[in-house]
Amino acid sequence: MHRPVFAGHEKQYLAECIDSNFVSSVGARVTEFEERLATFVGARYAIATMNGTAALHIALELAGAKPGTEIIGQSLTFIATCNAASYTGATPVFVDVDRDTLGMSPQALRAFLEANAQRRDGGAWNRGTGRQIVACVPMHTFGHPCRIDEIAAICDEWGIVLVEDAAESLGSWYKGRHTGTFGRLGTFSFNGNKIITTGGGGMVVTDDEALARRCKHLTTTAKIPHPYEYVHDEVGYNYRLPNLNAALGCAQMEQLEGFLVHKRALAARYIDFFKDAGVTFVQEPANSRANYWLNAIVLDSLAERDEFLKATNEAGVMTRPIWRLMTHLKMFSGCQHGGLENANWLEERVVNIPSSVPTPWVGR
């Protein structure tokens, strides 16, 4: 549904890495990729990681997630959001999404907090479980920005750290500001199916210098810089992005603007097509500019969805249903949640359709 395009300097930059021997976790391309990404999204700092899940894991840990705490997420998301939350030992709780953005609903977030939480010591505490709700992780589904400014305001009010899962929304803006930069921390993914890819890769962005420094430290085995000695001051992670992958990332960043133009053109063709077919095509929500990473349609019922999936896949056109709700998976089925009416409604009706940048592509 979303094939990568390598039409730029990918081979040249990879060859340069190999010739230089800097293929691993140290190298100029890692820093360059971080700087390019930070500049593009308008964040002060960016720290590259080996994948988007690792970026989320670290970001949530930096937000204070640990055993005995809770994280608010949206029930309709890709599993990585909740896996990362679980790695920290925190317990996820879930709220509903909006039908137009497919992302976290600020109303649902507020309703959940008012029904289940109380403010104490500058933070939010779950009245039922007695645990602190430390972080909130909204996600910009398929690149469509959710109502992130309202969510940020609610998090502020309750003393909850906002961590944006912007894995799918590189190249998407809300009210003129890039997604991933509304919270204290934001994360991106460069997996093979994302709008740009490094093979595998991720990024944490933040404007907070101390958090950025700590993020770099934790992702590089918590090693204290020293010309020759190995001194580590805590249990860290080997989450650093290799230079080879970053080289791909630099070449891909050079093409991102062009990819975005092509993806809008493809979305415009779909809008035109589905208008006549009487099918709802998911368009960028109000106040936003979406990257149209994965195109999606909303069918009338589960039966119609199943019929559409069967017909298209049998005809060799790749289509896929939206994810199962996290609360419908056995690992998270016991988790506390607010009303999930919209998430359930969307789960039965949304289908992704082919979304690749057309090739051959010569728009660099």
Binding site for ligand PLP (CB under 6 A): 51-53, 56, 77-78, 80-81, 139, 165, 167-168, 189, 191, 202
Q: How far is the CB of 233 from ligand PLP (least distance, A)?
A: 27
Q: How far is the CB of 188 from ligand PLP (least distance, A)?
A: 8
**3-state DSSP: the chain helix, strand, coil percent, rounded to 5?**
40, 20, 45
Amino acid making up residue 173? W
Nearer to ligand PLP, 81 or 291 (CB): 81
Nearer to ligand PLP, 124 or 260 (CB): 260
Q: Which of 194, 263, 275, 330 is catalytic?
A: 194
Q: How far is the CB of 169 from ligand PLP (least distance, A)?
A: 9
Annotated active-site residue 194? The verdict is: yes
Longest alpha-carbon distance in the chain: 68
Looking from the CA of 77 toward its CB, the CA atoms found within 13 Å total: 32
Q: Supply the DSSP symbol for 192.
A: T
Q: How far is the CB of 167 from ligand PLP (least distance, A)?
A: 3
Nearer to ligand PLP, 27 or 138 (CB): 138
Nearer to ligand PLP, 132 or 181 (CB): 181
Spatial neighbors of 263 by CB under 8 A, at least 6 apart, are 195, 291, 292, 293, 355, 357
Q: How far is the CB of 122 from ligand PLP (least distance, A)?
A: 29
Distance of alpha carbon 351 from alpha carbon 36, whole angstroms: 33
Distance of alpha carbon 71 from alpha carbon 92, whole angstroms: 5
Tell me the DSSP string of 321-344. EPPPPGGGSTTTTTS-B---HHHH
Tell me the DSSP string of 51-87. SHHHHHHHHHHHTT--TTEEEEEESSS-HHHHHHHHH
Q: Supply the DSSP symbol for 320.
A: E
Nearer to ligand PLP, 81 or 243 (CB): 81
Contacts 24+ apart (CB under 8 A), 266-269: 266/292, 266/295, 266/355, 266/357, 266/358, 267/292, 267/295
Residue 219, CA distances (Å) to 20, 32, 181, 223, 236 in order: 24, 17, 20, 9, 6
Nearer to ligand PLP, 52 or 186 (CB): 52
Distance of alpha carbon 321 from alpha carbon 348, whole angstroms: 8
Spatial neighbors of 68 by CB under 8 A, at least 6 apart, are 89, 90, 131, 132
Q: How far is the CB of 53 from ligand PLP (least distance, A)?
A: 3
Distance of alpha carbon 183 from alpha carbon 60, whole angstroms: 12
Nearer to ligand PLP, 51 or 352 (CB): 51
292: phi > 0 → left, psi -120 to 50 → alpha, else beta; which? left
Q: How far is the CB of 302 from ligand PLP (least distance, A)?
A: 23
Active site residues: 194
